[in-house]
Amino acid sequence: MPATEYQGSFLSRISIRRNQVVSMDGNHEQELEELEIFQKNISERFSDLISDDSSSSSNSASSSEPFLSIAWVRKLLDVFLCCEAEFKAVLIMGRDPSLISKPPLDRLIPELFDRAVKALDICNAVMHGIDSVRQCQKLAEIAAASLEQRPLGEGQARRAKKALAGLLSAMGIDETSGGHKSAERSWSFGRRGGGGGGVSVTKDRGSGQSRASTWGVPKNWSAAKQIQVMSANLVAPRGAEASGLAMPVYIMSIVTVFVMWALVAAIPCQEKTGLATHFQVPRQLGWAQSMVWLHEKIGEELKKKEKKGASPVGLLEEIQKMEKLGQSLLEFSDGFQYPVPEEKLDEAAAQVADLTETCRRMEDGLVPLQHQIREVFHRIVRSRTEVLDVLDHAGKSSAPSV
Amino acid sequence: MSSPEDGAKAMPLEAAEKLILQWDSTASEDAREKMIFESERVEIDRYLLAVDEVRRSMSGVSLSDEDPRASSTIQIAMARLEDEFRNILITHTSPLEADSLAESTHSISESTYSFSESTHSFSESSTHHHPSDDHDVYGGDEAESSARRSSSGSINYRSTSSIREIDLVPAEAISDLRSIADRMISAGYMRECVQVYGSVRKSAVDANFRLLGVEKLSIGDVQRLEWDALEAKIRRWIRAARVCIRVLFASERRLCDQIFSGIETAIEDACFMETIKGPAIQLFNFAEAISISRRSPEKLFKILDLHDALMDLMPDIDTVFQMKTAESIRVQAAEILSRLGEAARGILSEFESAILREPSQVPVPGGTIHPLTRYVMNYISLISDYKQTMNDLIVSKPSTGSRYSGDPTIPDMEFSEFEGKTPLELHVIWITVILQFNLDGKSKHYRDTSLAHLFLMNNVHYIVHKVKGSPELREMTGDDYLRKLTGKFRQAAMSYQRATWVKVLYCLRDEGLHVSGGFSSGISKSALRERFKTFNAMFEEVHRIQATWLIPENQLREELRISISEKLIPAYRSFLGRFRSHIENGRHPENYIKYTVEDLETAVLDFFEGFPVSPHLRRRSQ
């Protein structure tokens, strides 16, 4: 069975709750208890994400994934999937289905659906973004492989330079010392950037060729805008509403928007201007403190990038590393003269090794990351479909048929 | 590829290096402007020879003695060759010809019947319906169903597949590209080669996508569009997807093979994936967006079309994307197919719920066929056209109705009565059951019980008529059930007659008119006069009212009128015959004997026409 069926066993464990007989009196208390557990679990999971970062190399027992690395992002997605499963249990199982069509849920659920659709589009855009990252990885691999050659000659240096210039130009970083400047400011793989190699761009048959539609999303689609709209109507339920289902809906919505926001920040996506400010995690939420911390940290990085005027490429740790190493090695290649002094060579070699390692991590991690995002996609679709079904059948006492 | 050994004289290393340096595009304006592979063949060969020469000189030397200059020369040559490669590809990349884009296997007619055009939706809007509008409901239906029947014979998206590869690049260019690729790859520049190939071809595929009308729509966009607009897009997508997979992608694959096969293992796969991964995902994204759109009944048939088209394409998808690296694409296609099936199931379920819940309580004027009935019957008639696919998709019985839950809002249906029926057939029957259940509820809103019966008679008869009119539908429900339904509307007809005519005919009875003893000849004149007056009033009332009622189906209307006449006319004739003399002997007989038998016969013809009649019946007599 394809991934659409993956969570079968998990749900069957939860489904025993369907048989719970809930008395009118105990109902409310039980709800509150459920809510508390839900919040607690979320809080724990997100704090796990932080402790990974702060637990430094001294404690090798815990799996410390560098902040915003591919592995960390995968963990984040795991957290999302767990929260989502629990949310669905809270929302659907063991409850009177007609509750979903009554206030305040009758207003909140459509908003939830809308957010779900936007999240799906973000998943698709991020999938595409990861493909772009793989393109970068390949360019980096060319450079690394060239610079690994011994003896290191001018040919290898020029080859590396060409690849690195292309890499950086694709990242929207204009590093060319002279000659051709890449006009493209965003991810574009129609052309390898000029670089000092002076690749003839004049043979371009029409500019349409170079800007190959790399995004797979509509021209005016903006990741930042999606996030902004998703978070626009996130309002904490108050008063009587706060004790009902509206609360878990709110909680899950915050989690969803946060995860999507973090994904967009980490991975190259179309149009990210203003991302840093488009979403805030309310600071007063007890269960969300870890999320607040993470949000701040990521937000800081975003702002730093925006200030530098660099197009917000992707905060993914491996991308950042690649950018840094790429710049340094480009300088090295650009100023290459045979023979290279021992010291300089060693320095470059260390960086090359680093770059190779980064590429390896990308090679190992990016495809599984894509699989996971696809998983997230499926899960969101499935939940939405199930809730829609319950809605459509609300009013009938029979169980929903899917 | 030509090896430098055949015929051409070997080139000394220095000359080779010099030539390569000459063509270094960073070195001179001239080198930048001209392209080697656009020059004379002899120049091309010379350059390639030079490259081979330098490579050969390098391979004979141990690494530590390697002249760094040689590596530099090679790099210059490779950079140059890369540009040449790109240039050749771009030069020979042109959008596919229009006739290549047209399908060769086009005999597949799609269902042009757009269900959203039908009049009814599950809303109150049905009340603006005038009974006389219904006179052509049967005629209109004939046209509709015959149109569908003619296309139903060829509604099949399950045609045989035909992959059609075309040559995207002319043979001479291919051979040049091969000779470059070969050298780049053996010099260790495979990555660059793959990259340049991918980027040029991806642009080409994009351009062709635009030609085919493949749009880039986000899932959000698709959710926002009106279904009518989406139907058109689905139609276009189906046509485009066929060409993309069977022609475009297959041809790109062939091009990869032509240029790269035999040079390095799996490089064709890498180049192919580089080229089409993004576009393929973009293509499937639309179908995926449709498969997750909100379910509502009118979407069923286009979703089935999409499902069938995709299923038809699966073998080709599996062929074109057979490499391991393309697994995610195949998986995604399978996932979408599965979701479309789920959507179809969900929509059917939603449809059934909607029928049960359909709330309109304002009775249809004249007791004629309710728009809901027509909508539902048209719908399941269309389902029967899609029987093959639906049978595959619908695998479980209707979920409600087999429970004797005692729930008064759901009818019961004993599935054991329908042995041997497929789940789809059970659903179809179930749909007629819940339709009737809903109609029963609606009939109760008529204040006049006669009209309630007439309403049910009309509607159940319509159900029978539609089932009989469609061989597939008839086969699905079975003749037993049909008989049951027939019995039902006949029963309704009888109930109608009882409700209306018993009391009218009661006026014409014998009892109570005779008086024993006294001076008169045994007939109470006053009672008789009363009888006549009552009969006249009753009949006039019934006539006035029931002329505005409507039985759209000609034969049914005739039959009912005949049935009424058969009881009414002889009774009146006999009554007149026996008692008219008594009235005619008295004062103002015209006040009591208003109608002749012929008058009544004529009046009966007014019944159920759906038109009001003038208040005074024509009097023949006197």
Q: What is the pLDDT of residues A117-150, one digit of tens each?
A: 999 999 999 999 999 999 999 999 999 999 998 8
Please report residues of B whose CB lies closer than 8 A to that of A124.
Answer: 218-219, 285
Section B332-340 average pLDDT: 96
A123, A147, A154: best to mutate for the B interface, most B CBs within 10 A = A154
Most confident of A153-162, A371-380, B145-154: A371-380
3-class SS of residue B609: strand
Candidate ranges A105-114, B70-79, B158-167, B463-472; pick with highest mean pLDDT: B463-472
Segment B376-401 mean pLDDT: 89
CA nearest B367: which of B454, B268, B480, B247?
A: B454
What percent of chain A shows pLDDT beyond 70?
73
A120 and B292 within 8 Å at the Cβ level: the answer is yes
Taking CB atoms and an 8 Å limit, are A203 and B86 in contact across chains?
yes
pLDDT at A7: 41
Output the pLDDT for position A314.
87
Provide the shortest C-alpha distance from residue B87 to chain A (in Å). 7
Phi/psi for B609 (5° steps) reads -85, -20
**Cα dihedral B561→B566→B571→B574 (10° resolution):** 130
pLDDT of residue B404: 54
| Residues of chain B with C-beta less than 8 angstroms from the C-beta of A397 | 405, 407
pLDDT number for residue B43: 85
Is residue B598 within 8 A of residue B566, CB to CB? The reply is no
Distance from CA of B88 to the nearest CA of A (A): 10
Report the Cα–Cα distance between both ends of chain A, in Å, rounded: 17
Q: What is the mean pLDDT of residues B206-215?
A: 90
> Is the pLDDT score of B142 beyond 70?
no
Token pair belonging to B621: 């007599």
- What integer pLDDT is reported at residue A215 of this predicted model? 55
Task: Indicate yes or no: CB of B25 within 8 angstroms of CB of A199.
Answer: yes
Compute the average pLDDT of residues A362-372.
95
Q: For the packed helices A246-266 and A223-232, what is the interaxial angle rounded to 10 degrees?
A: 160
- Rounded to an integer, what distance in angstroms lies between the CA atom of residue A154 and that of residue B279? 38
Nearest-angstrom CA–CA distance, A124 and B362: 48
Q: Using an 8 Å CB-CB cutoff, list chain A residues near B410.
A: 396, 398
Give dist(CA B401, CA B423) in Å, integer: 14
Q: Is pLDDT above 80 for B408? A: no
Express each pLDDT in B495-542 by its tens digit. 999 999 999 999 888 888 777 765 555 778 888 888 999 999 999 999
Distance in angstroms (rounded) separating the CA atoms of residues A149 and A151: 6
* From A53-62, A373-382, B412-421, B475-484, the region with the lowest mean pLDDT: A53-62
Which of B73, B223, B353 is nearest residue A117 as measured by Cβ atoms? Answer: B223
Residue in A closest to B410 by C-alpha: A396
Query: Cβ separation of B66 and A216 shorter than 8 Å?
Result: no
Between the alpha carbon of residue B601 and those of residues A372, B149, B509, B566, B595, the distances in Å are 80, 41, 19, 10, 10
CB contact under 8 A, B64 and A388: no
Residue B82 has pLDDT above 60, yes or no: yes
Q: Which residue among B191, B203, B218 places its CB closest to the CB of A190?
A: B203
Within 8 A of B78 by CB-CB distance, chain A residues are: 159
Other C-beta atoms lying within 10 Å of the C-beta of residue A244? 18
- Of A212, A384, A396, nearest to B202 by CB-CB distance is A212
pLDDT tens digits, one per residue of A199-212: 333 333 322 223 33
Query: Which pair of tokens denotes residue B187?
Result: 């010099």
**Gap from A210 CA to chain B (nearest CA, Å):** 8
pLDDT band at B66 (very low <50, low <70, confident <90, very high): low
Two tokens at B37?
């592979």
Average pLDDT rounded to a whole number, residues B473-479: 93
Query: How many CA atoms does the CB half-sphere of A382 hold within 13 Å?
Result: 21
Q: How far is CA A15 from CA A11, A34, A94, B128, B180, in A?
A: 6, 15, 8, 48, 62
pLDDT per residue over B254-266, tens digit each?
A: 999 999 988 877 8
Q: What is the pLDDT of residue A11?
A: 41
* Residue B597: how many other CB atoms lie within 10 Å: 16
Is the model's pLDDT at A301 over the cut of 80?
yes
Tell me which chain B residues have a C-beta less than 8 angstroms from the C-beta of A190. 199, 203
Q: Are the CB atoms for B212 and A106 separated by under 8 Å?
A: no
Rounded Cα gap, residues A389 and A25, in angstroms: 28
Residue A295 pLDDT more than 80? yes
Q: What is the pLDDT of residues A317-326, one digit of tens each?
A: 999 999 999 9
Residue A380 clears pLDDT 60, i.e. is over it: yes
Residue A38 Cα, gap to closest chain B Cα (Å):
28
pLDDT recorded at residue A159 = 92
Distance to chain A for B363, nearest Cα, Å:
24
Closest-approach residue (CA) in chain A for B64: A151
Q: Is the pLDDT of residue A18 over 80?
A: no
Test mutation, B25, B194, B292, chain A, max A CBs within 10 A: B292
Task: Search chain A and give the residue with CA nearest B189.
Answer: A142
Determine whether the interchain pair B199/A190 forms a contact, defined as Cβ–Cβ distance below 8 Å: yes
Best of B20, B71, B202 to substitute, by most chain A Cβ atoms within 10 angstroms, is B71
Write down the ipTM of this complex. 0.82
Q: From the list B71, B206, B405, which residue is nearest A153 (CB)?
A: B71
